[in-house]
A and B are shown apart, each in its own frame.
Chain A
């Protein structure tokens, strides 16, 4: 019997496959196509204290092997989430990871307080990396002290595991993982989307109403794998890797690079039935390689041969 469980601080996830925030609504939208209790976790769409309208369309555009989005964090706010969505997620026995966004440090703290009192929240993911909104969020995620401050402030007010979600739009993402670890983060998740843009050359207009947006999908996967690998060499806390995962092989690549768990976003748009395929593929791989527990796989990349080649060349 293969053990797929993984540990994030005090929280045990039944498997390492998590639906990525911003790509799975509030989870309840997908209850008709997937048994939410089968997932390691469901990271719900980013929530502020108040509802938000988001950006006007066009909000997404497809690019080679990927897509840009600038949704602008349209959302119902934390209070309606707790009243209208959380009960159903609880009934469906989903492991709920609530992604929270603040314009100020105080807003993160307030959100953490409110959600710590709600029944059925398993962990908090701090969105300090959304590239599409002007205020807050990414200003914390692009400053080492900002990252440290928001993580330690939230840790002080919640018993829940705290997982800052890191942006790749920095020079050295590993230093942000370390700042998170130093501040007491239970894990880090990475990467959010890459700031990018696309232009219609006939009209010379940007294809997104927000002009710029975040790139996701298979196009970013090799960069994301490299960033997870760098972070694994820098921090001891669990890493939740993401970026263009569309198959069990992709998920395994992130784990071997150093991820304890993975999130899947854009691929869910293409195939909302992907979840059981990912889990079956991981089980099959572990069986073929005689690995009893998935957590034994994390960070097992073998670079010895390459290093020898490098030295002898």
Chain B
């Protein structure tokens, strides 16, 4: 069951002029979070902004093996992300969670391929830890606009995650979209069992889901829709789910997701 924690900011690490990682003292939530789950966040008591905003849990923080907090990876795009960017140690953030349906980790001999676009890196730190603990081989396909927007590369490398990078300006890794190295890898993985996990902009998620289907591999994607409450009350965050070959129905991504099987989503709706 989700809890609402008035979480103190432990530290705010600016990664660039847009991205930051905010560490929050919310051990109750952190300890209960499965990879891909999210929290609903609000700063201050006022009416601007009025509603909470959803964020994937980025890292689960531990000191001497004891869980003592979580972090959020944020990109400054709106009012709340600006407040998260500006937050200082000691500020208080209302944090409701953990919420939503998590990723399904696979076991060896299956390999796990995580595909991240931009701030869509967020759920993959915790997913990588869970997968590695099960002995599953993990590869991170990670794309951004430019090399300066690729973060935590050493964090993943140090834990034994293979990296395949792509930048739109060609400053690091493949020149172009992250789906190009993903397709090369899928084409060269004949006979291997692979599970594809994705998080990022919706066009990327669609491309990843279609690639996985083309190479007959299962995929799970984490969607981000405008969300009002995170608990199923408002019906705003719906995603079209396939009903047979032509139909679809709307499912609340806070309850039925945010993680869905890639072939469940009616991408053309």
Supposing A66-B50, A270-B51 touch, asked if A59 and B235 sit within 8 A by C-beta, the answer is yes
Contact of B47 with A57 in the complex, beta carbons under 8 Å: no
Interchain CB contact (< 8 A) of B238 among A59, A62, A217, A273: A59
Is B228's beta carbon under 8 Å from chain A?
A: yes
Supposing A32-B1, A54-B250 touch, asked if A62 and B49 sit within 8 A by C-beta, the answer is yes
> In the complex, which range does the number of interface residues on chain B fall in?
20 to 34
Supposing A57-B225, A270-B51, A272-B229 touch, asked if A32 and B235 sit within 8 A by C-beta, the answer is no
What is the interface size of chain A, counting residues whose CB is below 8 A from a CB of the partner? 34
Contact of B236 with A30 in the complex, beta carbons under 8 Å: no
Q: With a CB–CB cut-off of 8 A, which chain B residues contact A62? A: 49-51
Q: When each residue 61-72 of chain A gets 1 if its CB lies under 8 Å from chain B and 0 otherwise, what string results? A: 110111101010
Supposing A57-B226, A74-B250 touch, asked if A33 and B48 sit within 8 A by C-beta, the answer is no
Q: When each residue 48-60 of chain A gets 1 if its CB lies under 8 Å from chain B and 0 otherwise, what string results? A: 0000011011111
Q: With a CB–CB cut-off of 8 A, which chain A residues contact B48? A: 64-65
Contact of B47 with A269 in the complex, beta carbons under 8 Å: no
Contact of A217 with B47 in the complex, beta carbons under 8 Å: yes
Measured CB to CB, the nearest residue on chain B to A244 is B47
Shortest beta-carbon distance from B250 to chain A in Å = 6
* Chain B interface main SS type: loop
Contact of A269 with B233 in the complex, beta carbons under 8 Å: yes
Interchain CB contact (< 8 A) of A61 among B226, B231, B238: B226
Measured CB to CB, the nearest residue on chain A to B249 is A53
Is B232's beta carbon under 8 Å from chain A?
A: yes
Expressed in whole angstroms, the Cα–Cα distance for A273 and B6 within the complex equals: 13
Expressed in whole angstroms, the Cα–Cα distance for A56 and B50 within the complex equals: 23
Contact of B235 with A74 in the complex, beta carbons under 8 Å: yes
Contact of B232 with A33 in the complex, beta carbons under 8 Å: no
Q: With a CB–CB cut-off of 8 A, which chain A residues contact B235? A: 25, 45, 54, 59, 71, 74
Contact of B238 with A69 in the complex, beta carbons under 8 Å: no
Contact of B4 with A272 in the complex, beta carbons under 8 Å: yes
Is A268's beta carbon under 8 Å from chain B?
A: yes
Expressed in whole angstroms, the Cα–Cα distance for A65 and B228 within the complex equals: 14
Q: When each residue 241-262 of chain B gets 1 if its CB lies under 8 Å from chain A and 0 otherwise, what string results? A: 0000000011000010000000
Supposing A33-B2, A74-B250, A273-B4 touch, asked if A65 and B50 sit within 8 A by C-beta, the answer is yes
Interface core residue of B96, B234, B255, B269 (most chain A CB under 10 Å): B234
Interchain CB contact (< 8 A) of A268 among B2, B42, B233, B249: B233
Contact of A29 with B50 in the complex, beta carbons under 8 Å: no
Expressed in whole angstroms, the Cα–Cα distance for A63 and B4 within the complex equals: 24
Contact of B226 with A59 in the complex, beta carbons under 8 Å: yes
Q: With a CB–CB cut-off of 8 A, which chain A residues contact B225? A: 57
Expressed in whole angstroms, the Cα–Cα distance for A74 and B229 within the complex equals: 16
Is A266's beta carbon under 8 Å from chain B?
A: yes
Supposing A65-B47, A269-B51 touch, asked if A23 and B226 sit within 8 A by C-beta, the answer is no
Expressed in whole angstroms, the Cα–Cα distance for A62 and B42 within the complex equals: 14
Q: With a CB–CB cut-off of 8 A, which chain A residues contact B250? A: 53-54, 74
Shortest beta-carbon distance from B106 to chain A in Å = 28
Known A-B contacts: A33-B2, A272-B231. Give 15 more (CB < 8 A): A29-B231, A29-B232, A29-B255, A30-B232, A33-B1, A33-B231, A53-B250, A59-B226, A60-B226, A65-B50, A66-B47, A67-B228, A69-B228, A74-B238, A268-B233
Interface residues of A (CB under 8 A from B): 23-25, 29-30, 32-33, 45, 53-54, 56-62, 64-67, 69, 71, 74, 217-219, 266, 268-273
Interface pairs (10), CB distance under 8 Å: A25-B235, A29-B233, A45-B235, A54-B250, A57-B226, A57-B237, A59-B236, A61-B226, A67-B228, A266-B50
